[in-house]
């Protein structure tokens, strides 16, 4: 039963077979590089689009119960590492990319929430949202997806706790600290209004991420059908002990969310790249993208920004090597 759920419902293998049959009817030879690339592109775009729309609709409906004002109240009830844990968990039901999370981070900081708590949220939000759990299950299986999310949450909690212990409040820009928080009670929405909100969020997010999906799937199709397997194994396989570090630093300048990185990860895994190396690349892209770093610099001073980047980078590299070490157990 679980194999059916993973392969046919989440992985949509039936869709891949259907597209292959349709391409053969249209005269394509899917065993060639060109035909295989077309099949990979159509299959991944349709699969990710279907999963994306369903997940955003579901998560946005859940998110309608956790507007920023309510999140502030929830976080304000906790202290210490418990607050960091709650902040990391709340990050799983908030926007899908780091650039969308930063305005919420600024709002939480302006409201006077502890800095370490807000950073736990900032690390968790793009790295381990609920969508990543389902999408990773569709590609890598349940064990990999669950361990990935757990390690992401641990990274967020440790990172936020460390920033809290170092008392970095002086490195927040003055305009953030002096901003007055507006305490607005969360409106009570009807079920119909929540569904309308979820639909609007789905359409907005889909239009926003569609270009990255197309680019990611296009790159994945090239990797899958045109780049020799020996090249991938040489650079990102077990023969290169620095593959995790390389993948992390390559991912940082890029900007995408998990929906754009999934097809690239899928193609790399099939070509022989190590699991942890692939996941480090995905985490770097979603958590430390260059646009998000630029946005965050407007809110915090260089020393705090550098600490945030350092903590995330070390955590991502550690997670990558850990997954590589236990890949034989997880896959």
- Give tens-digit pLDDT for 79-114: 788 888 988 888 877 655 555 677 777 777 777 788
Q: What is the rounded distance in angstroms from the CA atom of residue 282 to the CA atom of residue 134?
A: 15
Give 300's strand partners.
172
Q: Are 120 and 160 in contact (CB under 8 A)?
A: yes
Q: What is the pLDDT of residue 98?
A: 57
For helices 142-165 and 115-127, give the axis angle rounded to 10 degrees.
160
Q: What is the rounded distance in angstroms from the CA atom of residue 70 to the CA atom of residue 321?
A: 37
Q: Per the structure block, which two tokens stand in for 59?
A: 């998560």
Q: What is the pLDDT of residue 303?
A: 93
Q: What is the rounded distance in angstroms from the CA atom of residue 198 to the CA atom of residue 212?
A: 21
Q: Are 6 and 141 in contact (CB under 8 A)?
A: yes
- For residues 294-303, give the mean pLDDT: 84
pLDDT at 184 exceeding the cut of 50: no
258 confidence band (pLDDT: 50, 70, 90): low
- For residues 221-234, give the mean pLDDT: 80
255 confidence band (pLDDT: 50, 70, 90): low
Lowest mean pLDDT among 6-20, 237-251, 256-270, 298-312: 256-270
pTM equals 0.76
Measure Cα distances from 95 to 17, 37, 47, 90, 201 in Å: 33, 31, 21, 11, 10
Q: What is the pLDDT of residue 22?
A: 94
Q: What is the pLDDT of residue 182?
A: 47
Measure Cα distances from 69 to 9, 11, 74, 83, 104 in Å: 36, 37, 9, 16, 10
């Amino acid at each position: 039963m679980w194999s059916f759920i993973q392969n046919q419902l989440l992985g949509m293998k039936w869709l891949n077979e259907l597209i292959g049959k349709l391409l053969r009817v249209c005269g394509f030879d899917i065993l060639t590089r060109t035909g295989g690339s077309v099949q990979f592109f159509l299959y991944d775009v349709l699969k990710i689009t279907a999963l994306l729309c369903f997940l955003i609709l579901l998560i946005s409906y859940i998110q309608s119960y956790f507007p920023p004002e309510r999140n502030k109240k929830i976080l304000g009830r906790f202290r210490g590492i418990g607050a960091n844990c709650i902040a990391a968990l709340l990050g799983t039901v908030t926007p899908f990319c780091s650039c969308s999370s930063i305005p919420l981070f600024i709002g939480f900081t302006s409201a006077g929430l502890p800095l370490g708590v807000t950073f736990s949220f900032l690390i968790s939000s793009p790295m381990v949202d609920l969508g990543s759990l389902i999408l990773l299950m569709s590609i890598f299986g349940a064990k990999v997806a669950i361990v990935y999310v757990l390690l992401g949450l641990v990274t967020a909690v440790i990172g936020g706790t460390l920033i809290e212990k170092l008392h970095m409040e002086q490195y927040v820009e003055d305009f953030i600290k002096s901003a007055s928080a507006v305490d607005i009670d969360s409106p009570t929405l009807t079920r119909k209004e929540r569904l309308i909100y979820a639909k609007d969020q789905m359409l907005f997010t889909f239009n926003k991420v569609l270009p990255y999906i197309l680019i990611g799937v296009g790159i994945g199709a090239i990797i899958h059908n045109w780049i020799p397997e020996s090249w991938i194994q040489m650079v990102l396989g077990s023969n290169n002990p620095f593959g995790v570090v390389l993948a992390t630093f390559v991912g940082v300048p890029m900007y995408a969310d998990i929906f754009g990185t999934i097809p690239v990860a899928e193609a790399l895994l099939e070509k022989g790249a190590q699991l942890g190396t692939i996941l480090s690349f995905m985490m770097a892209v979603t958590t430390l993208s260059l646009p998000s770093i630029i946005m965050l610099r407007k809110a915090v001073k260089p020393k705090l920004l550098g600490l945030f980047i350092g903590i995330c980078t070390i955590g991502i590299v550690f997670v990558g090597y850990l997954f590589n070490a236990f890949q034989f157990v997880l896959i």
